[in-house]
A = this chain, B = another copy of it.
Amino acid sequence: MEAKLGEFDLIWRFFKAGSESMAQTQINRVLLGIGDDCALLQSDATQSLAVTSDMLVEGRHFFAGANAEWLGHKALAVNLSDLAAMGAKPVGFTLALALPNANADWLAQFSQGLFRLAQQWQCPLIGGDTTQGPLTICITALGHVPAGSAIKRSGAKTGDDIWVSGTLGDARLALGALRKEWSLNPSSLETVLPRMHEPEPRIALGMQLRGIANSALDVSDGLLGDLRHILKASQVNAEVLIDQLPASRTLAEQTQDLRRQCAANGGDDYELCFTAPASKRMEVESLSTALLPLTRIGSITSASNGAEPELILRDANGNPLTNADSMRLTQSFDHFKST
C-alpha cells in the first residue's frame, strides 16, 4: 500500500483529499487512513485491524510469462510485508484475480506459491473475485495488532537510530541483469534472483518490534525514497551512512556505484526500515541475533519543523557525499527504480 511516485503519486493525493474529510467523521472507527503501510481500524478495546491492498499488473510489476509459483508467492508477500511494517499479525486475505484464460497448470503453480506462504503465516484466503481480463492480481490482507501498538511512519524521534533488516539491493541487481542494464555472471544471478521473485515478508520481526521501534515501513520502492516517507510523516531530518547499507556478498562484489545505487534505491527489497531510541539498542541487537541481521545505518538528527526533511548521506569515512553524488542517489530514483 505505497503511494507510487511520479504521476501516480498525484493520483493518490487526489483520492486522499476525499478520504480524509470523511475519515474524520468516523474517528472512532478509522484510526489511521491513507498514507501508511496499512490503514488501521478499531476492532475492539484491545485490538486494531490493519488493512492493506496491493495490485500487481503484468508488464509493470512482473514480466509477461513470469513463473506463476513465484507470482503467487510475491503477490501475497508484498501485502504481508505491509502488515509486518505495522507490527501486525496476519489474519486472512482476499484475492481478486483477472486472468486472460483459465489455464490449469498456471493456476496450480500460482496457488502453490500463494498457499505455501499463506500456510507459513497461518493467513487463510477468505474470499475474493475472479474474472477474465489482462493478468492482474489484487490482494487485500488483514492483520491484528494490539490497540495502540501499531508501528506508524509518523513516530520517529530525534536521537533515534535508523535500522534496516536483512540486506538491500539484490532484487534490483537481479532485475538490472535480466534487463541487461549490467551483466552478472550466471552463478551470481542465481544467488540474487530469489530476492526478486520470492521476497520474505518480515512478519516475525515486525511483531517483535512493537514497543521497541518508534516508526517503521517496508522497503518496497528503494530505501532512501521510502525513508523519506518516515521523515515526512515524522517531520524529522536524518543522516544515513551510505556504505553501511547491508549488502549480500554478491552485491558487495559489484562496483561502488552499482552497490550504492542498488542498496539505496533498488526497490523490491521488502526489508523493514525502522527507527528506535538509542536506549533500545541492546533489544534490537538481541532481535538481530535471534531473527535476522539488523543493521544500524544512521540516525534521526533533528526536527524538520515543517520544512522539507533533510536527508544527509555520509560515506565510509563519515564525510558527507558531494552534492553531485548525493543528488544521484536521492534524485535518480524515478529513472532507476524497479518497475
User: How many A residues face the partner with a CB closer than 8 A?
Assistant: 73
Q: Complex formed: what's the CA distance from A133 to B54 in Å?
A: 13
Copies of this chain, whole number: 2
Q: Are A125 and B61 within 8 A (Cβ)?
A: no
- Binary CB contact string for chain A from 40 to 72 against chain B (1 if under 8 A, 0 otherwise): 010111010101111101111100000000000
A25 CB within 8 Å of chain B: yes
A118: interface (CB < 8 Å): yes
Are B124 and A33 in contact, with the CB atoms below 8 A?
A: yes
Shortest C-beta distance, A46 to chain B (Å), equals: 8
CB distance from A338 to the nearest CB of B (A): 13
Complex Cα–Cα for A142 and B126 (A): 13
Residues of B within 8 A of A4 (CB): 129-131
Asked if A287 CB lies within 8 Å of chain B CBs, one says no
Tell whether, in the assembled complex, residue A57 and residue B124 are in contact, meaning their CB atoms are under 8 Å apart. Answer: no
**Across the interface, which residues of B come within 8 angstroms of A33, CB to CB?**
124-127
Is there an interface contact between A92 and B30, defined as CB atoms closer than 8 Å? yes
Contacts A11-B99, A41-B92 given; indicate if A55 touches B138 (C-beta within 8 A): yes
Residues of B with C-beta under 8 A to A94 = 1, 39, 51-53, 140
Give every chain B residue within 8 A of A126 (Cβ-Cβ): 19, 23, 30, 33-34, 39, 41, 51
> Do residues A133 and B130 form an inter-chain contact, with CB atoms below 8 A?
no
Asked if A2 is at the interface of the complex by the 8 Å CB criterion, the answer is yes
Q: Is the CB of A55 within 8 A of B129?
A: yes
Q: Report yes or no: B7 in contact with A102, Cβ–Cβ below 8 A.
A: yes
Is A23 a contact partner of B124 (Cβ separation < 8 A)?
A: yes
Whole-angstrom CA separation of A107 from B39 in the bound complex: 22
* Cβ–Cβ < 8 Å partners of A41 in chain B: 91-92, 126, 142
Q: Show the binding face of A for B, using Cβ within 8 Å.
A: 1-2, 4, 7-8, 10-12, 14-15, 18-19, 22-23, 25-26, 29-30, 33-34, 36, 38-39, 41, 43-45, 47, 49, 51-55, 57-61, 91-92, 94-99, 101-102, 107-108, 111, 114-115, 118-119, 122-134, 136, 138, 140, 142
